[in-house]
Structure 1
Amino acid sequence: MFMGEYLHTVDGKGRLIMPAKFREALGEQFIATKGLDHCLFVYPQEEWKILEEKLRALPFTQPDVRAFVRFFFSGASECEVDKQGRILLPANLRSYAQITKDVVLVGVSTRVEIWSQELWAEYSSRAEEAYAQAAESLVELGI
């Protein structure tokens, strides 16, 4: 399980140090792709396979399903950790997530999210305001 928040920087070549706790759970190879809210989603291979099966089972005749699956898979890239604990974030993913230098890595249960520090600050500010309301909704759902 992934949890926690870590601040890091991306170097000029697009490399990012992956926190040791995340590296252990991600394994040697994992998948990074375009996430929601202009962040990147990073999945261990096992979680990626589960998600891939679920997406494959969706009805491809529906335009919104096709659009989501295309967008999600078109941005997917297999990543490896080098000997210094860094991963190379492809330019298209850095561009999508508006990542230039400072990033926040967030553990979200089965995945890691990579955010530009600026977008994370904006999102966190909005989410903090809605946190109590979201908790109330979850209670209503029995969680």
Structure 2
Amino acid sequence: MFMGEYFHTVDGKGRLIIPAKFREGLEDTFVVTKGLDNCLFVYPPDEWKTLEQKLKALPFTKKDARAFVRFFFSGATECELDKQGRILLPASLRNYGQLEKDVVIIGVSSRVEIWSRESWEKYSTEAEMDYEEIAEKIVDFDIDL
């Protein structure tokens, strides 16, 4: 399980250090793709395979399903950690996530998310204000908090 919040930087070559706490769970090779809310989603191999199967089950006759699957898979890339625990993020993913220098890497249960620090601070401030309201809405999912 991935959890926590870590602050790092993208270097001039597009490399990013993955927090040591996340490296073992991600294994040697993992997938990074365009996520929601303009962040990047990072999946360990088993989670990626599970997600891939779910997305394959979407009805290809539905325009929105085709669009989502295209966008999600076209942005995906396999990444490997170098000896320093870094990955090289392709320019297309850095551009999508607006990752110029300062980033926040967060654990979200079965995946890791990579955010620009500015975007994360804005998002988390807004979400924090609605935290209790959001909690009330998800009670319908039978989750005890």
- Compute the TM-score of the two structures, normalised by the length of structure 1: 0.98
Distance in 2, matches of 1:141 and 1:132, equals 15
Q: What's the secondary structure of 2:139's corresponding residue?
A: helix
Give the structure 2 partner of residue 74 of structure 1: 74
Amino acid at match of 1:126: E
Q: What's the secondary structure of 2:13's corresponding residue?
A: coil
Give the structure 2 partner of residue 65 of structure 1: 65
Distance in 2, matches of 1:34 and 1:3, equals 20
Query: Cα offset for 1:39?
Result: 0.1
Deviations 1:109-133 (A, max 9, x none): 0000000000001100110111100
**Aligned 1:40-119 pairs, distance under 5 A:** 40-119=40-119
Q: What's the secondary structure of 2:33's corresponding residue?
A: strand
Structure 1 unaligned blocks of 5 or more: none
Runs ≥4 in structure 1, deviation > 3 angstroms? none
Query: Cα offset for 1:138?
Result: 1.8
Higher mean C-alpha displacement, 123-132 vs 26-35? 123-132
Give the structure 2 partner of residue 25 of structure 1: 25
Deviations 1:77-118 (A, max 9, x none): 000000011000110000000000000000000000000000
2:127 pairs with 1:127: yes
Q: What's the secondary structure of 2:130's corresponding residue?
A: helix
Give the structure 2 partner of residue 38 of structure 1: 38
Q: How well do the aligned residues superpose, as a CA RMSD in angstroms?
A: 0.6
Amino acid at match of 2:21: K
Amino acid at match of 2:101: K
Query: Cα offset for 1:141?
Result: 2.9
Distance in 2, matches of 1:141 and 1:29, equals 33
- Compute the TM-score of the two structures, normalised by the length of structure 2: 0.97
Structure 2 unaligned blocks of 5 or more: none
